Amino acid sequence: MPSVCLYFQVHQPCRLRRYSFFDVGHVHDYEDEAENHRILDRVAQKCYLPANALLLKLIEEHSGKFRVAFSLSGVVLDQIERRRPDVLESFRRLAATGCVEFLNETDSHSLAFLFSPREFRAQVLLHRKRIRALFGQDGRTFRHTELIYSNDLAKAVDKLGYAVILAEGTEKILGRRSPNRAYRPAGCGKLKLLLRNYRLSDDVAFRFSEAAWSEHPLTAEKYAHWLHRIGGKEAVVNLFMDYETFGEHQWRETGIFEFLSALPGEILRHPDFFFQTPAEVAASHDPAGEIDCPGFISWADVERDMTAWLGNAMQQDAARSLYGLESAVRRRKDEGIFKTWRMLQTSDHFYYMCTKWFSDGDVHRYFNPFESPYEAYINYMNILDDLSQSLKQKKECIHDRDAQTLPL
Protein backbone atom coordinates (compact mmCIF):
# COMPACT_ATOMS: atom_id res chain seq x y z
CA MET A 1 0.00 0.00 0.00
CA PRO A 2 1.40 3.45 -0.87
CA SER A 3 2.43 5.69 1.99
CA VAL A 4 2.78 9.47 2.16
CA CYS A 5 5.81 10.88 3.96
CA LEU A 6 5.30 14.54 4.86
CA TYR A 7 8.36 16.37 6.16
CA PHE A 8 8.85 20.05 7.05
CA GLN A 9 12.09 22.01 7.43
CA VAL A 10 12.02 24.73 10.12
CA HIS A 11 14.84 27.25 9.93
CA GLN A 12 15.48 30.93 10.55
CA PRO A 13 19.05 32.23 10.20
CA CYS A 14 20.62 34.80 12.51
CA ARG A 15 20.72 37.99 10.44
CA LEU A 16 23.96 39.93 10.46
CA ARG A 17 24.10 43.63 11.26
CA ARG A 18 25.44 46.03 8.66
CA TYR A 19 29.13 45.85 9.44
CA SER A 20 31.51 48.28 7.72
CA PHE A 21 35.27 48.44 7.39
CA PHE A 22 35.29 51.11 10.10
CA ASP A 23 33.67 48.71 12.58
CA VAL A 24 36.56 46.25 12.32
CA GLY A 25 38.55 46.24 15.53
CA HIS A 26 35.91 48.23 17.40
CA VAL A 27 32.54 46.41 17.22
CA HIS A 28 32.42 42.72 18.09
CA ASP A 29 28.66 42.21 18.06
CA TYR A 30 27.76 40.84 14.62
CA GLU A 31 24.07 39.94 14.86
CA ASP A 32 21.11 42.19 14.14
CA GLU A 33 19.15 41.14 17.20
CA ALA A 34 16.24 43.50 16.54
CA GLU A 35 15.75 42.08 13.04
CA ASN A 36 16.08 38.51 14.28
CA HIS A 37 13.41 39.15 16.88
CA ARG A 38 11.12 40.96 14.44
CA ILE A 39 11.22 38.18 11.83
CA LEU A 40 10.87 35.39 14.40
CA ASP A 41 7.81 37.07 15.91
CA ARG A 42 6.27 37.52 12.45
CA VAL A 43 6.85 33.92 11.36
CA ALA A 44 5.72 32.59 14.73
CA GLN A 45 2.39 34.40 14.41
CA LYS A 46 1.88 33.72 10.72
CA CYS A 47 3.18 30.15 10.53
CA TYR A 48 4.54 28.26 13.53
CA LEU A 49 1.75 28.77 16.06
CA PRO A 50 -1.28 28.45 13.74
CA ALA A 51 0.24 25.60 11.70
CA ASN A 52 1.27 23.66 14.80
CA ALA A 53 -2.21 24.09 16.28
CA LEU A 54 -3.73 22.85 13.01
CA LEU A 55 -1.45 19.80 12.82
CA LEU A 56 -2.27 18.89 16.43
CA LYS A 57 -5.97 19.12 15.60
CA LEU A 58 -5.54 16.95 12.51
CA ILE A 59 -3.61 14.28 14.42
CA GLU A 60 -6.40 14.12 16.98
CA GLU A 61 -9.17 14.14 14.36
CA HIS A 62 -7.60 11.27 12.44
CA SER A 63 -6.80 9.24 15.56
CA GLY A 64 -3.08 9.14 14.88
CA LYS A 65 -3.32 8.11 11.23
CA PHE A 66 -1.96 11.49 10.20
CA ARG A 67 1.80 11.57 10.79
CA VAL A 68 4.46 14.16 9.94
CA ALA A 69 8.15 14.89 10.48
CA PHE A 70 10.12 18.04 11.28
CA SER A 71 13.74 19.11 11.23
CA LEU A 72 14.33 22.20 13.37
CA SER A 73 17.78 23.67 12.80
CA GLY A 74 19.83 24.45 15.87
CA VAL A 75 19.85 28.08 14.71
CA VAL A 76 16.07 28.39 14.95
CA LEU A 77 16.03 26.40 18.20
CA ASP A 78 18.44 28.95 19.72
CA GLN A 79 16.08 31.78 18.82
CA ILE A 80 12.90 29.97 19.88
CA GLU A 81 14.34 28.92 23.22
CA ARG A 82 15.46 32.49 23.99
CA ARG A 83 12.55 34.49 22.64
CA ARG A 84 9.48 32.34 21.93
CA PRO A 85 8.99 29.58 24.52
CA ASP A 86 5.36 29.40 23.40
CA VAL A 87 6.51 28.19 19.98
CA LEU A 88 8.80 25.60 21.56
CA GLU A 89 5.95 24.36 23.73
CA SER A 90 3.71 23.99 20.66
CA PHE A 91 6.32 21.71 19.06
CA ARG A 92 6.58 19.74 22.30
CA ARG A 93 2.83 19.17 22.25
CA LEU A 94 3.21 17.71 18.76
CA ALA A 95 6.05 15.47 19.95
CA ALA A 96 3.87 14.19 22.79
CA THR A 97 1.32 12.77 20.31
CA GLY A 98 3.73 10.06 19.16
CA CYS A 99 2.79 10.91 15.58
CA VAL A 100 5.59 13.37 14.86
CA GLU A 101 9.22 12.51 14.17
CA PHE A 102 11.99 15.03 14.79
CA LEU A 103 14.99 14.66 12.49
CA ASN A 104 18.68 15.42 13.01
CA GLU A 105 20.88 17.75 10.94
CA THR A 106 23.96 19.94 11.42
CA ASP A 107 23.26 22.16 14.41
CA SER A 108 24.38 25.34 12.62
CA HIS A 109 22.58 24.48 9.37
CA SER A 110 26.04 24.52 7.86
CA LEU A 111 28.21 23.33 4.97
CA ALA A 112 30.70 21.81 7.42
CA PHE A 113 30.81 18.41 5.71
CA LEU A 114 32.47 19.99 2.67
CA PHE A 115 35.22 21.64 4.72
CA SER A 116 35.70 19.91 8.07
CA PRO A 117 34.64 16.31 8.82
CA ARG A 118 35.46 16.92 12.48
CA GLU A 119 33.16 19.94 12.71
CA PHE A 120 30.43 18.15 10.77
CA ARG A 121 30.40 15.21 13.17
CA ALA A 122 30.45 17.50 16.21
CA GLN A 123 27.47 19.50 14.94
CA VAL A 124 25.44 16.38 14.15
CA LEU A 125 26.06 14.92 17.59
CA LEU A 126 25.20 18.27 19.21
CA HIS A 127 21.91 18.47 17.30
CA ARG A 128 21.10 14.86 18.19
CA LYS A 129 21.63 15.66 21.87
CA ARG A 130 19.42 18.78 21.66
CA ILE A 131 16.54 16.96 19.98
CA ARG A 132 16.71 14.22 22.60
CA ALA A 133 16.65 16.78 25.42
CA LEU A 134 13.85 18.93 23.95
CA PHE A 135 11.55 16.32 22.43
CA GLY A 136 12.56 13.00 23.98
CA GLN A 137 13.49 11.39 20.67
CA ASP A 138 16.66 9.64 19.55
CA GLY A 139 17.14 10.67 15.94
CA ARG A 140 16.76 7.89 13.38
CA THR A 141 16.61 10.12 10.30
CA PHE A 142 19.25 12.54 9.03
CA ARG A 143 18.51 15.53 6.83
CA HIS A 144 21.52 17.52 5.69
CA THR A 145 21.46 21.29 5.16
CA GLU A 146 19.25 22.14 2.14
CA LEU A 147 19.10 18.41 1.27
CA ILE A 148 22.76 18.49 0.23
CA TYR A 149 23.74 14.90 -0.47
CA SER A 150 26.47 12.68 -1.93
CA ASN A 151 27.81 9.12 -1.61
CA ASP A 152 30.49 10.28 0.83
CA LEU A 153 27.93 12.10 2.98
CA ALA A 154 25.72 8.99 3.09
CA LYS A 155 28.69 6.87 4.22
CA ALA A 156 29.48 9.33 7.03
CA VAL A 157 25.83 9.36 8.13
CA ASP A 158 25.71 5.54 7.98
CA LYS A 159 28.67 5.38 10.38
CA LEU A 160 26.80 7.68 12.78
CA GLY A 161 24.09 5.02 13.11
CA TYR A 162 21.15 6.60 11.30
CA ALA A 163 18.50 4.44 9.61
CA VAL A 164 17.58 6.80 6.79
CA ILE A 165 18.80 9.92 5.00
CA LEU A 166 16.79 12.36 2.86
CA ALA A 167 17.79 13.80 -0.51
CA GLU A 168 16.38 15.47 -3.62
CA GLY A 169 14.72 13.20 -6.17
CA THR A 170 16.51 14.70 -9.13
CA GLU A 171 16.92 12.93 -12.46
CA LYS A 172 20.67 13.42 -12.05
CA ILE A 173 20.75 10.38 -9.77
CA LEU A 174 17.45 8.68 -10.60
CA GLY A 175 17.66 8.55 -14.36
CA ARG A 176 14.34 7.00 -15.41
CA ARG A 177 13.58 5.56 -11.98
CA SER A 178 10.83 6.87 -9.72
CA PRO A 179 11.43 9.04 -6.63
CA ASN A 180 8.48 7.22 -5.05
CA ARG A 181 10.53 4.33 -3.67
CA ALA A 182 13.02 3.75 -0.89
CA TYR A 183 16.60 3.17 -2.05
CA ARG A 184 20.00 2.15 -0.73
CA PRO A 185 22.85 4.71 -0.94
CA ALA A 186 25.90 3.42 -2.79
CA GLY A 187 28.52 2.05 -0.43
CA CYS A 188 26.22 1.82 2.61
CA GLY A 189 25.22 -1.29 4.49
CA LYS A 190 22.04 -0.46 6.41
CA LEU A 191 21.22 3.18 5.63
CA LYS A 192 18.18 3.82 3.42
CA LEU A 193 17.55 6.81 1.18
CA LEU A 194 14.27 8.68 0.69
CA LEU A 195 14.03 11.03 -2.26
CA ARG A 196 11.86 14.13 -2.43
CA ASN A 197 9.18 14.18 -5.11
CA TYR A 198 10.09 17.73 -6.10
CA ARG A 199 7.26 18.23 -8.57
CA LEU A 200 4.50 17.42 -6.10
CA SER A 201 6.32 19.19 -3.25
CA ASP A 202 6.86 22.37 -5.27
CA ASP A 203 3.23 22.39 -6.39
CA VAL A 204 2.45 23.36 -2.80
CA ALA A 205 5.61 25.20 -1.75
CA PHE A 206 6.00 27.43 -4.83
CA ARG A 207 3.05 27.18 -7.21
CA PHE A 208 0.10 27.13 -4.81
CA SER A 209 -0.75 30.83 -5.16
CA GLU A 210 0.52 31.28 -8.72
CA ALA A 211 -2.56 32.53 -10.59
CA ALA A 212 -0.97 31.88 -14.00
CA TRP A 213 -0.36 28.21 -13.17
CA SER A 214 -2.58 25.91 -15.25
CA GLU A 215 -3.64 23.98 -12.12
CA HIS A 216 -4.59 27.05 -10.10
CA PRO A 217 -6.47 26.95 -7.80
CA LEU A 218 -5.01 23.84 -6.18
CA THR A 219 -7.51 22.09 -3.93
CA ALA A 220 -6.85 19.29 -1.47
CA GLU A 221 -9.19 17.05 -3.45
CA LYS A 222 -7.29 17.64 -6.70
CA TYR A 223 -3.91 17.17 -5.03
CA ALA A 224 -4.98 13.95 -3.31
CA HIS A 225 -6.21 12.66 -6.67
CA TRP A 226 -2.72 13.20 -8.12
CA LEU A 227 -1.25 11.19 -5.25
CA HIS A 228 -3.82 8.43 -5.59
CA ARG A 229 -2.70 7.84 -9.16
CA ILE A 230 0.66 6.69 -7.81
CA GLY A 231 0.39 2.94 -7.42
CA GLY A 232 2.57 0.13 -6.16
CA LYS A 233 2.76 -1.78 -2.93
CA GLU A 234 6.20 -0.37 -2.08
CA ALA A 235 5.47 3.20 -3.17
CA VAL A 236 6.22 6.10 -0.83
CA VAL A 237 5.43 9.69 -1.88
CA ASN A 238 7.93 11.98 -0.19
CA LEU A 239 6.60 15.52 0.18
CA PHE A 240 9.37 17.66 1.66
CA MET A 241 9.08 21.45 1.99
CA ASP A 242 9.87 24.47 4.16
CA TYR A 243 7.40 24.77 7.03
CA GLU A 244 7.23 28.51 6.39
CA THR A 245 5.27 27.59 3.24
CA PHE A 246 2.20 27.76 5.46
CA GLY A 247 1.38 31.35 6.27
CA GLU A 248 4.71 33.00 5.45
CA HIS A 249 5.69 32.09 1.87
CA GLN A 250 2.09 31.30 1.00
CA TRP A 251 -0.05 33.79 2.92
CA ARG A 252 -3.14 32.77 4.85
CA GLU A 253 -5.24 34.70 2.31
CA THR A 254 -4.23 32.22 -0.43
CA GLY A 255 -6.19 29.46 1.30
CA ILE A 256 -3.06 27.48 2.23
CA PHE A 257 -4.34 26.61 5.72
CA GLU A 258 -7.66 25.40 4.36
CA PHE A 259 -5.71 23.25 1.91
CA LEU A 260 -3.59 21.74 4.71
CA SER A 261 -6.65 21.19 6.89
CA ALA A 262 -8.46 19.19 4.21
CA LEU A 263 -5.47 17.29 2.80
CA PRO A 264 -5.13 14.38 5.29
CA GLY A 265 -8.80 13.49 5.01
CA GLU A 266 -8.70 13.59 1.22
CA ILE A 267 -5.62 11.37 1.08
CA LEU A 268 -7.01 8.90 3.63
CA ARG A 269 -10.24 8.56 1.61
CA HIS A 270 -8.35 6.05 -0.52
CA PRO A 271 -8.25 2.81 1.51
CA ASP A 272 -4.75 1.89 0.31
CA PHE A 273 -3.06 5.12 1.36
CA PHE A 274 -1.61 5.98 4.76
CA PHE A 275 0.91 8.38 6.35
CA GLN A 276 4.36 7.44 7.66
CA THR A 277 7.32 9.32 9.09
CA PRO A 278 10.74 8.82 7.45
CA ALA A 279 11.91 6.36 10.14
CA GLU A 280 8.69 4.37 9.73
CA VAL A 281 9.20 4.23 5.97
CA ALA A 282 12.74 2.98 6.46
CA ALA A 283 11.55 0.26 8.82
CA SER A 284 8.78 -1.01 6.51
CA HIS A 285 10.14 -0.56 2.97
CA ASP A 286 12.84 -2.63 1.29
CA PRO A 287 15.24 -0.76 -1.02
CA ALA A 288 14.14 -0.79 -4.66
CA GLY A 289 17.76 -0.48 -5.76
CA GLU A 290 20.98 1.44 -5.21
CA ILE A 291 21.48 5.15 -5.87
CA ASP A 292 24.93 6.31 -6.92
CA CYS A 293 25.66 10.01 -6.30
CA PRO A 294 29.41 10.70 -6.62
CA GLY A 295 28.95 14.51 -6.69
CA PHE A 296 26.90 16.81 -4.51
CA ILE A 297 23.23 17.54 -5.15
CA SER A 298 20.74 19.68 -3.22
CA TRP A 299 17.13 20.86 -3.41
CA ALA A 300 18.13 24.41 -4.40
CA ASP A 301 17.35 26.06 -7.71
CA VAL A 302 16.90 24.49 -11.13
CA GLU A 303 20.44 23.06 -11.10
CA ARG A 304 19.93 21.24 -7.77
CA ASP A 305 23.63 21.42 -6.99
CA MET A 306 25.96 23.47 -4.76
CA THR A 307 26.02 26.66 -6.84
CA ALA A 308 23.50 28.44 -4.61
CA TRP A 309 26.20 28.55 -1.88
CA LEU A 310 29.54 27.95 -3.59
CA GLY A 311 28.93 28.94 -7.19
CA ASN A 312 31.13 32.02 -7.43
CA ALA A 313 34.53 33.26 -6.27
CA MET A 314 33.05 35.39 -3.46
CA GLN A 315 31.23 32.46 -1.90
CA GLN A 316 34.23 30.17 -2.20
CA ASP A 317 36.55 32.77 -0.69
CA ALA A 318 34.19 33.43 2.20
CA ALA A 319 33.78 29.72 2.97
CA ARG A 320 37.51 28.99 2.78
CA SER A 321 38.26 31.99 5.00
CA LEU A 322 35.68 30.93 7.59
CA TYR A 323 36.80 27.32 7.88
CA GLY A 324 40.42 28.44 7.71
CA LEU A 325 39.88 29.90 11.18
CA GLU A 326 38.90 26.53 12.69
CA SER A 327 42.27 25.62 14.20
CA ALA A 328 42.68 29.07 15.77
CA VAL A 329 39.12 29.01 17.11
CA ARG A 330 39.60 25.59 18.69
CA ARG A 331 42.93 26.56 20.26
CA ARG A 332 41.38 29.59 21.95
CA LYS A 333 38.85 27.46 23.87
CA ASP A 334 36.64 30.55 24.17
CA GLU A 335 32.96 29.59 24.25
CA GLY A 336 31.80 32.96 22.92
CA ILE A 337 34.17 32.96 19.95
CA PHE A 338 33.34 29.33 19.19
CA LYS A 339 29.62 30.09 19.21
CA THR A 340 30.16 33.08 16.91
CA TRP A 341 32.23 31.01 14.49
CA ARG A 342 29.47 28.43 14.29
CA MET A 343 26.81 31.11 13.80
CA LEU A 344 28.79 32.34 10.80
CA GLN A 345 28.70 28.84 9.30
CA THR A 346 24.95 29.01 8.62
CA SER A 347 24.47 28.36 4.90
CA ASP A 348 22.22 31.41 4.42
CA HIS A 349 25.21 33.76 4.70
CA PHE A 350 26.68 32.20 1.54
CA TYR A 351 23.29 32.05 -0.18
CA TYR A 352 23.05 35.84 0.07
CA MET A 353 26.25 36.09 -2.03
CA CYS A 354 24.78 34.12 -4.95
CA THR A 355 24.95 35.94 -8.28
CA LYS A 356 22.37 33.90 -10.19
CA TRP A 357 20.03 36.30 -11.98
CA PHE A 358 18.33 33.98 -14.43
CA SER A 359 15.77 31.28 -13.65
CA ASP A 360 16.37 31.46 -9.90
CA GLY A 361 17.24 35.12 -9.53
CA ASP A 362 13.88 36.19 -8.12
CA VAL A 363 14.08 33.54 -5.40
CA HIS A 364 17.54 34.67 -4.34
CA ARG A 365 16.53 38.33 -4.28
CA TYR A 366 13.43 37.52 -2.21
CA PHE A 367 15.48 35.88 0.55
CA ASN A 368 18.40 38.33 0.48
CA PRO A 369 18.36 41.09 3.14
CA PHE A 370 21.26 42.85 1.38
CA GLU A 371 21.01 45.15 -1.59
CA SER A 372 23.30 42.92 -3.62
CA PRO A 373 25.42 39.76 -3.33
CA TYR A 374 28.50 41.96 -3.33
CA GLU A 375 27.26 43.89 -0.30
CA ALA A 376 26.60 40.58 1.46
CA TYR A 377 30.15 39.42 0.71
CA ILE A 378 31.83 42.63 1.87
CA ASN A 379 29.73 42.69 5.04
CA TYR A 380 30.58 39.08 5.82
CA MET A 381 34.29 39.45 5.14
CA ASN A 382 34.48 42.54 7.36
CA ILE A 383 33.05 40.43 10.16
CA LEU A 384 35.53 37.63 9.48
CA ASP A 385 38.34 40.18 9.52
CA ASP A 386 37.27 41.38 12.96
CA LEU A 387 36.90 37.81 14.24
CA SER A 388 40.37 36.97 12.92
CA GLN A 389 41.84 40.03 14.65
CA SER A 390 40.10 39.05 17.89
CA LEU A 391 41.70 35.62 17.69
CA LYS A 392 45.15 37.14 17.19
CA GLN A 393 44.67 39.58 20.07
CA LYS A 394 43.53 36.75 22.29
CA LYS A 395 46.65 34.83 21.38
CA GLU A 396 48.89 37.81 22.22
CA CYS A 397 47.14 38.26 25.58
CA ILE A 398 47.72 34.59 26.41
CA HIS A 399 51.39 34.88 25.47
CA ASP A 400 51.77 38.04 27.62
CA ARG A 401 50.20 36.33 30.61
CA ASP A 402 52.42 33.27 30.20
CA ALA A 403 55.51 35.47 29.91
CA GLN A 404 54.75 37.11 33.25
CA THR A 405 54.81 33.74 34.99
CA LEU A 406 58.14 32.67 33.52
CA PRO A 407 61.32 33.08 35.60
CA LEU A 408 63.69 35.84 34.43
Q: What pLDDT digit, counting tens, does each position of 19-41 carry? A: 999 999 999 999 999 999 999 99
Strand spans (E) along 259-365: 274-275, 290-291
Question: Cα 51 to the chain's mean position, in Å?
Answer: 18
Running DSSP on this structure, what letter comes out for residue 183?
E
CA gap 133, 126 in Å, rounded:
11
- pTM recorded for the entire structure: 0.93
Average pLDDT over residues 195-200: 98
CATH code of the domain made up of 3-291: 3.20.110.20
In 18-109, which residue ranges form alpha helices assigned H by DSSP?
A: 33-43, 49-61, 74-83, 85-96
Coil vs helix vs strand at 63? coil
What integer pLDDT is reported at residue 233 of this predicted model? Answer: 80
From 101, 105, 119, 146, the catalytic residue: 146
pLDDT average, residue stretch 210-220: 97
Examine the pLDDT at 82 and tell me if it is beyond 70: yes
Q: pLDDT (tens digit, 9 = 90+) per residue, 296-336?
A: 999 998 899 999 999 999 999 999 999 999 999 999 999 99
- Residue 232's pLDDT is 85
326 catalytic, yes or no? no
Q: What is the DSSP string of 212-277?
A: TSTTPSPPHHHHHHHHHT---TT-EEEEEEEGGGEETTEEGGGTHHHHHHHHHHHHHTSTT-EE--
Specify the DSSP element, H or E, that contains 68: strand 68-72
CA separation for the pair 227, 288 (Å, rounded): 20
For residues 360 and 304, give the distance between their C-alpha atoms in angstroms, rounded to a whole number: 11
The pLDDT of residue 366 is: 55
Residue-wise pLDDT tens digits, 143-195: 999 999 999 999 999 999 999 999 999 999 999 999 999 999 999 989 999 99
Q: In degrees rounded to 5, what are phi and psi of residue 222?
A: -65, -45
Check pLDDT > 50 for residue 358.
no
Report the pLDDT value the prediction gives residue 394, as an integer from 0 to 100: 56
